[in-house]
Structure 1
Amino acid sequence: HANMKPYDVRLHKLRGFPGAVRSSQAIKKCIEGSDLLTGKLKQKVQDAYSMRSTPQVIGAAHDAVAFARKQVETELNGVGDNPIFIPEDKVTLTGANFQGTPVSLPMDMIGAAVTMVCVLSERRMNRLNNPALSVGLPAFLTKGAGMFSGLMLSQYTADMMIVEQRILSMPASIQSIPAAADQEDFVSMGMNTAIKNAQILDNAYGILGIEFMAAAQALDFRNHQTGKGVAKAKEVIRKYVDFLDVDRPLYTDHNKMKELVKSCEILEEVEKTIGSLE
């Protein structure tokens, strides 16, 4: 039942960040056809930050990825040797083009950006679980709260993975340890960044999968018309995870949702329905 004004692209064009413009357009496109846009549903004047600042936050992550990609592509197409021979000038230059900081620093930023998006995801999931915040949804998204746990423990799982992401989001690029008799006295630690980013990203698939699962469960308790993109996303989720009628072990559902997010099937099917979200 969100107020949709924060997703008006005009807001974001006035500020000027391309990622936020892209995110607001994508969200609004997914919602097209929904009663949320017709004025039929009562809405708050302002929603919590975890909802209304979504374009700004996810948009900042998009901008970070764009910068990091540019840096990586420059590195892949550049000369990183030492020494470097320039035959046409008949010169040999020794330097430090092997230094990995131009890649490790933006990669550290990507780890933080992915973690940030996951924290935002968990906060939205919390609002679905909490009956004081969910605008009429049952506690923990179960019809039998008190007898059933519903998706309460799914939030525990997401929280655990976010704690791990936060630990891993400490930058590696500032962790240099001198070696080689202090000749190599400042290094990028870029491999550490790559290794921890892989775990951050792996956790992100699971965290976002849990939010998708909770969102599908919540929509089954709503009776308003949803957007075409939202309806298609829910349809894809229901191919893999059934409505939680009574409590069941949820780890298999979590694992299915993690693989579903990783496969990009939800995104691909939504875009077949409503067009590209770029």
Structure 2
Amino acid sequence: MTLIQTPPYVPVISVAESRTLADLEAAGGAIEVTLDPDTRNRVDEGRQFVMRCLAEGRPVYGATTGFGPLVGFSGRDADADQCENLLSHLTAGQGPDLPESIVRAAVLARLSSLARGRSGVSATVLEALAEMLGTSFAPAVPRLGSVGASGDLVPLAHMTQALKGRGHAYAGGVRMEAGDALASCGLRPLELDGRDALGLVNGVSLTAAAAGLAMAQFTRSHRIAGLLTALLADQLGCGTDFSHHHLLDAFGHPEVVEEAADLRAHLAGTRPTGDRPLQEPYTIRCVPQLLGAVRTSMRQAREVILQDLNGISDNPLFFPEHDLVLHGGNFFGQPVAFAADTMTMAVVQTGNLAERQLDLLVDPHRNGGLPPVLATEPGRQHGVQGVQIAATAIVADMRRSAMPASLQSLPTNLHNQDIVPFGTQAALNAFDQVRSLRLLHGSLALALRQAVHVGARRPTAPACADVMDRLVDEIAPIDPDRPLHEDVRRAADVLDDVAMSGVDR
């Protein structure tokens, strides 16, 4: 018998379409990026216009001039030398490498901006980026270096150098010399001239990509927070007045009304025990208001991030149909800086909720008489005691790191960049925060699963019961004690799978 192996599915993304958060997540693996004829023609027209402007002796920042505060000096005579000079002085990043998923998403975001045809780069640049995304290649890009004000100059310079075969890169998840990584993926080193190098680095595509990936995960985690609240309320036998539509309609906030509707859907069919207090702790009773406010913040931040992903981030921009070269500040990442910091605040408060719900569940004075820390034999066993301690450390780390980056403006670059948004750091912080939130939710889910083992009732609402069944199938009861770090991550994976089916992306 011959086995026919189906090749792995490769998502197809057209640069002519609007970018989505799903596109950014797909770019973490191999994707096929298509360049339609209209895009090619638009890019070629922009490139020809740039070359005509240079031939006519028109001043064009970065092509006929030095960079940054050295704009008053002439640049190098040869285009290729000018490109080399730009990349050389910007290859100065420090710190650990960014995750491959962020870097590859940034490549897609940069490609999308360049494909609008306003940057004057050559079509071969777009083709090279698209070809790279079809492989496992990922430039090694250090975390620190961008202030997000004249584009993500330093990290995108490292990205471009790797595409030229310099520095380091990843192929198949293995870090190696960039030239070797290119060869192993069947890619040729990128060659640049004209305005190609400046077009590749002079935008905040890393910022937009990191913020977009953070928002994609937070969208799932927000739904997970509602599911876990419903599971907790159902297992404890709580009443459902806190989610009643008359109550929340009166509150007057549309997103809170939506949140309550989702909670009612999760809790449909639940049977309250009648043994709970008249009013539950705020970690249950005020969840519609809390997660509804989170939903409001998410919508605003998502809108800003998508606008950035589908706009043009560069300077100058070229408008051949109007015979215009316009110099300005479309590389200034303030919108996403604010959006990412707003997201971080919402993520941290959602983490606060999860940590407090875990505390409620392990406390025998508030959990309906379940054993302390959900231990099968308290004293001889310790249930989720270590998990709670780790969760406390995680939420403390999240709070400590929640200072808005967009408030940290520092003048630099001989005061050419005299005010900066630090959107890159804001976006990377949001990305880190949502990963921590996943671990808090995994910790709470593990405790909810253990609660059933030590005497809590199984959920009575069908939707909650389905989630608990998934957790029980994947995670054994803690009896006897065992290391639980992997179980927390496995629970987080289960929750992501559950949330994927109902998330608007």
Give the TM-score normalised by structure 2. 0.50
Q: Name the counterpart of 1:238.
A: 472
Q: Name the counterpart of 2:420.
A: 187
Give deviations 1:147-174, integer Å, cap 9, x for gaps. 2211111111111111121122111111
Q: Distance in 2 between matches of 1:92 and 1:205?
A: 46
Q: Distance in 2 between matches of 1:92 and 1:154?
A: 58
- 1:82 counterpart (315, 318, 328): 315
Write the mapping of 1:116-265 to structure 2, written as runs, cut at 5 A: 116-220=349-453, 221-223=455-457, 226-261=460-495, 264-265=496-497
Amino acid at match of 1:24: A
Q: Distance in 2 between matches of 1:225 and 1:186?
A: 54
SS of the aligned residue for 2:424 comes to helix
SS of the aligned residue for 1:191 comes to helix
On the 8 A contact 1:33/1:225 being kept in 2, the answer is no
SS of the aligned residue for 1:95 comes to coil
Q: Name the counterpart of 1:107.
A: 340
The sequence identity of aligned pairs, in percent, is: 26
Q: Distance in 1 between matches of 2:246 and 2:308?
A: 36
SS of the aligned residue for 1:136 comes to coil
Label 1:254 to 1:92 Cα distance change in 2 as closer, same or farther (>3 A): same
Structure 2 residue ranges without an equivalent (≥5)? 1-236
Q: Name the counterpart of 2:206.
A: none
Q: Name the counterpart of 2:499.
A: 267
- 1:15 counterpart (248, 251, 273): 251
Label 1:224 to 1:94 Cα distance change in 2 as closer, same or farther (>3 A): closer
- 1:31 counterpart (226, 246, 267): 267
- 2:304 counterpart (68, 71, 75): 71
On the 8 A contact 2:239/2:274 being kept in 1, the answer is no
On the 8 A contact 2:374/2:384 being kept in 1, the answer is yes
Q: Distance in 1 between matches of 2:391 and 2:321?
A: 57
Q: Distance in 1 between matches of 2:289 and 2:268?
A: 20
Decide which structure has greater helix share.
1
On the 8 A contact 2:245/2:261 being kept in 1, the answer is yes
Q: Name the counterpart of 2:56.
A: none
Amino acid at match of 1:61: V
Give deviations 1:27-70, integer Å, cap 9, x for gaps. 1111111112xxx5223111111111111111111211111111
Amino acid at match of 2:497: E
Using the TM superposition, name which of 74-83 and 188-197 deviates more. 74-83
Per the TM alignment, residue 249 of structure 1 is displaced from its structure 2 partner at its CA by 1.7
Amino acid at match of 2:473: K
Q: Which has the higher contact order (CA 8 A, sep 6+)?
A: 1
Instruction: Count residues with an aligned counterpart.
Output: 267
Q: Distance in 1 between matches of 2:405 and 2:483?
A: 37
Give deviations 1:95-115, integer Å, cap 9, x for gaps. 222211111111111112111
SS of the aligned residue for 1:173 comes to helix
On the 8 A contact 1:176/1:189 being kept in 2, the answer is yes
On the 8 A contact 1:29/1:277 being kept in 2, the answer is no
Using the TM superposition, name which of 149-158 and 194-203 deviates more. 194-203
Using the TM superposition, name which of 84-93 and 168-177 deviates more. 84-93
Give deviations 1:177-212, integer Å, cap 9, x for gaps. 111111211111111112222211111111101111
Q: Distance in 2 between matches of 1:229 and 1:219?
A: 16
Q: Distance in 1 between matches of 2:448 and 2:264?
A: 17
Per the TM alignment, residue 92 of structure 1 is displaced from its structure 2 partner at its CA by 4.2
- 2:287 counterpart (54, 74, 79): 54
Per the TM alignment, residue 84 of structure 1 is displaced from its structure 2 partner at its CA by 3.4
